Structure 1
Amino acid sequence: MPGIDECLLEAMALPGARGAALVDWSSGLALGTVGESPVGDHETTAAETAELARAAAEYESFASAGEDPAAAVPGTTGAAASAHLAGPPVEDLIVTTRTGYHVLRFVATSFDSSVFLHLWLDRAEGNLALARMRLRDLAEGLVLR
């Protein structure tokens, strides 16, 4: 299971990857960064993307109110399904710009699950579907040490 640095390096191996970060959305701080930043400063990018992630994770509009946990998580029942839904109700966010994609993938943790992976992809070279699948796998295997 990869740690932060290994996870970010694996994210950068994706076609079109320009930069990646692991960000704490409650504080807006980058826990790790690699590659470029869209604004030239990883800390500014972390703070700005944290605002977006916080809004998506905390607003009721995105919550799965009244959803049956077992129906939301195929193959699980009762407590296991409820535990799976304990993190933010949003799995990922995608922001499309004229030149790129920003994919924010929430990471479930044993503490408060307030971190996400941010991947910045070049729009001409990146593969959005592949990036979403790979970030999902990286988020599930990430070990925060």
Structure 2
Amino acid sequence: MLPLMRQLRYPTTPSVLKERLCMLEEHEQLVSLVAELDGVVVGTVFLRQHQTHDMPRPVTRITALVVDEKHRGTGIGKRLLREAENWGRERGSSQLLVSVAGENNMSSKSFYEYSGFSCMGYRLSKELK
């Protein structure tokens, strides 16, 4: 899975990635789903379910989705999205959400819109020091 994280430009090491994946096992609201071909991980989607005071039902957020560059355009991303939807639905989520930030992610934005997502609002952030 490390090569996939590097394709997302997530700076990580094998030990840090292992630690974070183990953390997922401890939380019912977090999961990583993977796509394999011939025993090799070629795609993954990380999900987090949460609910706040203003939501009647929880939502599921995609925190990362990546398909190996060699396998993009083969339907793996669509299948991972379908499994993400199923995971959220099974846990009572009312929506599947994703944030796409930056000008370099226009192909990601197009992929999500093609898959039925609607663009609503802006993503804002502030660094805490």
TM-score (norm 2): 0.28
Larger RCO: 1 or 2 (CA < 8 Å, sep 6+): 1
